[in-house]
Amino acid sequence: MQPSSRIRINRVIADLRPQGPSRAPQRSVRTLDDRMNELLIPGVSVAVIENFEIAWARGFGVRRIGERAAVGPDTPFQAGSISKPLFALTVMRLCQDKRINLDADIRTYLKSWQLPESDDGWAPKVNLRQLLSHTAGTTVHGFPGYPVHGALPSLAEVLNGAPPANTPPVFIDLIPGMQFRYSGGGTTIAQLAVTDLVGQSFPDLMRDLVLMPLGMEDSSYEQPPSSDLANRAAAGYAFNGVPTPGGWHVHPEMAAAGLWTTAGDLARLGAALMRGLRGEITGLDLSRESLATMLHPQLPDQRKGSDFVGLAWFCAGDGDAFRFGHAGGNHGFLADLRLYPATGQGAAVMINSNQGWPLIEELLASIEREYRWPAMAQATSDASIADQLAGTYRDSTDRLFRIEQVGRGLLLRVGDQDPIGLMPSSNGIFSAQIPQIKVRLAPASERPPAITLSQGGRTFEAIKVPDEPHVEK
């Protein structure tokens, strides 16, 4: 490792800035060691991409509490939902090779299971494009996994919600192609369709088309993991340092949540994707056009420059500040991959603790400052956006959100909670540190104006309604 890289690593891990008030003897700027101790995080894996190449990859802490085995660059972690966009790359390769069609009825490929009809006989038509972009209207957000030593369901049992599956059945309860709703269940339908078509085990397919071509030697979709990987892997911890029994959960829903990998391997993937997007040949053997297709809006009311989901990738920003990536969370593990293709920059962070979710954003923010990632441009002035946001909004549960403009900022009232001050941050977003929320205008469409409110990994949407008088309680 170059001395300059060591210097930059030291600056990154010494400049973490937690949100919220600091209390003595804590400082407002803390080190990675400080935060790992405060949040009871055993291990962290970090990799940074600069100029389309991996600048560095390092591990911090230990694989298991109470043991000395350190997290190294080759220590695998569960990646959670980052599994999904890697699977989408395999689908794109099959599509490019004309073995599969993104827009064909999924029933064309399903052999071992079929989409259930509704009680009144409605048989929805969905395709891989909709399943990968979470616009198919499928149910089941995510999967908790199964104990290492317990019974594992088949994919058909998972989709049917039949024992020993621990999640409800997957079915379609929205008209496909009309709106976004995140669904690991939809990804699992796509997994079964692809394996039914190619007649190959899912881990072998992912190894042959993505992992091996990119040199991701510490990555695998095997569930449960091989003994070689398991012996090197980090163990998961949920909250307060409580270990996951057996070290981790097993995920037969491999496309949705089954990837074991390292931050370095994710950075290797990210660098290859960004080089491919500028026309370079990479091990993926995907054309520039195929990769670019994944980063386009998939609904008519989505547009570039706003937040949208392409084919499994979450996208935001425009110009040099356009970025794509994905976050992931399994029982005991969290991860995030963030990429800026115009400048060839990005980073991957993985931790083995659900309690440590604030640390991921703190590390990414520190890397952003150190490497000067592109800032999202303000499309219009803060004052203009604040004026547009002001008003009363109602969500699908009849919950009211009242927004009032105050100077450069906003006051948000939710139910009988005290008003929350919001200040402009970037790209038309108004945010608060405590509680940690972000509010922005939803992308324009033919419908009435709407806002999205994000907190704790969830996004809520509310439609503007005529103002109602607010009664103080």
Tell which wins on pLDDT, 240 or 21: 240
Q: Which of 110, 98, 168, 111 is nearest to 139 (CA)?
A: 168
For the segment 411-432, what is each residue's pLDDT rounded down to a tens digit? Answer: 999 987 888 888 887 667 888 8
Cα-based distances in Å from 121 to 116, 118, 157: 9, 5, 22
Q: Torsion-angle region of residue 241: left (phi > 0), alpha (psi -120 to 50) or beta?
A: left
pLDDT tens-place string over residues 157-186: 999 999 999 999 999 999 999 999 999 999
Q: Strand 43-50 and strand 430-432: pairing?
A: unpaired
pLDDT in tens, 216-252: 999 999 999 999 999 999 999 998 899 999 999 999 9
Cα–Cα distance measured from residue 91 to residue 100, given in angstroms and rounded to the nearest whole number: 8
CATH architecture assignment, domain 1-377: 3-Layer(aba) Sandwich (3.40)
Work out the widest C-alpha separation in the chain, in whole angstroms: 68
- Residue 473 — pLDDT band, cuts 50, 70, 90? very low
Report the helix count and the strand count for the chain, using DSSP H and E. Answer: 13, 17
CATH code of domain 382-465 = 2.40.128.50
Beta bridge partners of residue 77, listed in sequence order: 261
* Alpha-carbon span 144 to 166, nearest angstrom: 8
DSSP helix/strand/coil, 238: coil
User: What is the reported pLDDT for 427?
Assistant: 61
The domains of the chain are located at 1-377, 382-465
Q: Which of 255, 259, 257, 253 is nearest to 165 (CA)?
A: 253
Q: Residue 350 forms beta bridges with which residues? A: 45, 335
Residue with tokens 């659900």: 354
Radius of gyration of the chain (CA): 22
- Buried b / exposed e over 180-204, threshold 16 CB at 10 Å, is bebbbbbbbbbbbbbbeebeeebbe
Residue with tokens 């139910």: 415
Look up residue 341 and give its two tokens. 């293709």
pTM of the full structure: 0.82
Handedness of CA 365, 367, 369, 372 (dihedral sign): negative
Q: Which two tokens stand for residue 268?
A: 């290797």
Nearest one of 95, 110, 320, 114 to 197, comparing CA atoms: 110
Cβ–Cβ < 8 Å for 21, 12: no
| Residue 26 confidence (pLDDT) | 61
Over residues 249-288, the pLDDT tens digits come to: 999 999 999 999 999 999 999 999 999 999 999 999 999 9
Give the three-class secondary structure for 53: strand
- Helix or strand or coil: residue 360? helix
Q: Are 391 and 467 in contact (CB under 8 A)?
A: yes
CA distance 358 to 237: 15
Q: Are 124 and 172 in contact (CB under 8 A)?
A: yes
